[in-house]
Amino acid sequence: MPIRFSLGCLAAYLCSHSLPAAEVSAAVNSIETVQLDGLVVFSTRVALQEPASTFAAPVSALRFEPRVDVQARGFAEAQADVSIRGGTFENTGFTVGALPIYDPQTGHYSAELPVSSYMLGAPEVRVGAEQAAAGFNATAGGVAYGWRPIRTGGAVSGGFGSDELVRGEFYSGFLAPEKVAGFTVGGDVSGAASAGDGTLTGADHDFGRGNARVQLANAVSQTDFFAGYQAKNFAWPNLYAARNQATPRRDERERLQTKLFLVNNRTELGGDGDYVQAGAYYRGNRDHYAIPVFRYNAHHETTVRGAAVEGRKGLFGATALLYNAGVVADELESTTLTFGPFASRTQAYGTLQGEQTVNLGERSELVFTGGARLEGSDRDSSEVSPLASIAWRRSDGMLRRVYASYAESTQLPTYQALKAAPGGLFGGNPALARATAANHEIGLELGDAVWSAQAAVFYRSEDNLLDYVYNPSNPLSARKATSVDLDTWGAELFVRRTWEAIDLFVGYTFLNKDDHYTDGKAASFYALNYAEHRLTAGAIARLGSGFELRIDNEYRHQAENSLRRYGRDNFDTALGLFYRVPCIKGLTLGAQADNLWDTAYEEVPLVPAARHSWSLGAAYVW
């Protein structure tokens, strides 16, 4: 009980050296604010909202998300490949509002969103026909975020932990008291910083992030103007170049600077779900990657400019039109990735679908959706992909929705089509072709006021999928970018149940892949790095007297891979204990631990795992 005892002592000290509770309450209530939850919720599908090792990033809420596999090098907020339904990080997309936030050439930085989680809504995982219709250049799945409405209030937090960790974050939002032309004007700012020595030798980090946003809103419309900057300096043994050289272990360092500027508007057009959303953005990412022992230094700078629109419009009766369109232009300057056709390019896409609803009576209906998506580029030919789905929906009862869908999608190769000079550490392939995927899926949704469940089975057939492969007979070989064909079968289940004192959520994923390219001649580094069975289980227990226990667990049985060390099975637990101080409204004290069992499981083959870490902290919201 040492953690509980120390938190109780600290709470008693704070209470004894502060204003009386009545005076604190009067002071708080005299200010017109919107009281935030003591623990701000970034996702309702996981228990712990922040990591123990740094401040929260958008990827943090995905670590134990049942349908997302975060394959981290070190910890997820440093470098994370995000995989959905057995795909690779290259065919997972990210969307904020109407905008696909794209990292075209460096691949591993797709999840680098320099945005405070206080400003974003909960992540929505898109798969199948939904991803094919609304995503961009990502065939397996996508993660979509919306912009939170601004409220007057804020939060400040700080903490310390193992391996010399120190971290802090600040967020503040404000709404102007008077409207301008019928719009409420709001603004919010956020800053965060973190530094530590890391759980391994040669694994330090130093992070910083700053955000500012202006928002115009009324009853039906919200426009967000956003600017964000993030700088990350971190090291990790065998970060990327594992197995490329005879040295069994080397320290590698990466310095990232990411800028994001955007504007996004969403306007609701009526009570039937009609809306239009549009925006534009600029993203810049600078990367300095170094292996000091080899005097290897690589500098990359990518810039992306994009604009997009999406929406739904009822035409007549039960018929509606669904649409989206966008253009994305990118450019790469690099000291090593200098060959190939895709150093710069412009891509455009558009989706048009018809939706027909048939009323079946008894509060149920059939919804038919069908259409096509067109994608093109100035570096490649265009491609048309069909989309179709049928869904039965009911507004009451236990069974809420049953659906079936078929969707095709395509993707141009990214950094894998750019190769280093001959003899370099990473072997690219300028001849890589456009990848295509066909997804078949059936699923259902159940639930009532206290519990919900979703289940799906799917089959995805992929041609010209991009993977990196090794020659297993040569332990010093470089990995080579290769076009491969792969079939993936899968099943997913997620259940959430709420009681007065506890929330419980359980997820299970089964995956099986039929590959046609390894057969003892090659070892896959990415496409075959997946869990055949993955079980997640989280709980939030309200213990009373202001205490709350949050726990996330993951068990996985990984597919066999000749590159993997330390076995195929792993059980991971993240645990947090929190205490809301009764005499200071809004103050919460917490203790957290990641990798509770200190396992050595490699999320990316040959890359050492982050070991056990802990932190203590306090957060105050107003």
* 220 has a pLDDT exceeding 50: yes
Domain count for the chain = 1
The residue type at 370: G
Q: Which pLDDT score is estimated for 433?
A: 85
- What is the domain range of residue 589? 2-621
CA 431 – CA 450 distance, rounded (Å): 53
Q: What is the CATH number of the domain that holds 30?
A: 2.40.170.20
How would you class 208 by CB atoms within 10 Å of its CB: exposed for 0-12, middle for 13-18, buried for 19 or more?
Answer: middle
* 33 has a pLDDT exceeding 90: no
* pLDDT range class, residue 24, cuts 50, 70, 90: very low
Whose structure tokens read 């360092």?
253
Cβ atoms of 276 and 323 within 8 Å: the answer is: no
Both structure tokens of 86: 């057995």
Query: What percent of the chain is modeled with pLDDT above 90?
Result: 68
Q: Which pLDDT score is estimated for 341?
A: 64
Both structure tokens of 173: 């939002």
Give tens-digit pLDDT for 112-171: 999 999 999 999 999 999 999 999 999 999 999 999 999 999 999 999 999 999 999 999
Give tens-digit pLDDT for 371-412: 999 999 998 889 999 999 999 999 888 999 999 999 999 998
Give tens-digit pLDDT for 577-602: 999 999 999 999 999 999 999 999 99
Give tens-digit pLDDT for 89-120: 888 999 999 999 988 766 688 889 999 999 99
Q: Which residues contact residue 412 at a Cβ distance below 8 angstroms, ignoring those fewer than 6 apart?
A: 137, 342, 345, 347, 377, 379, 380, 434, 435
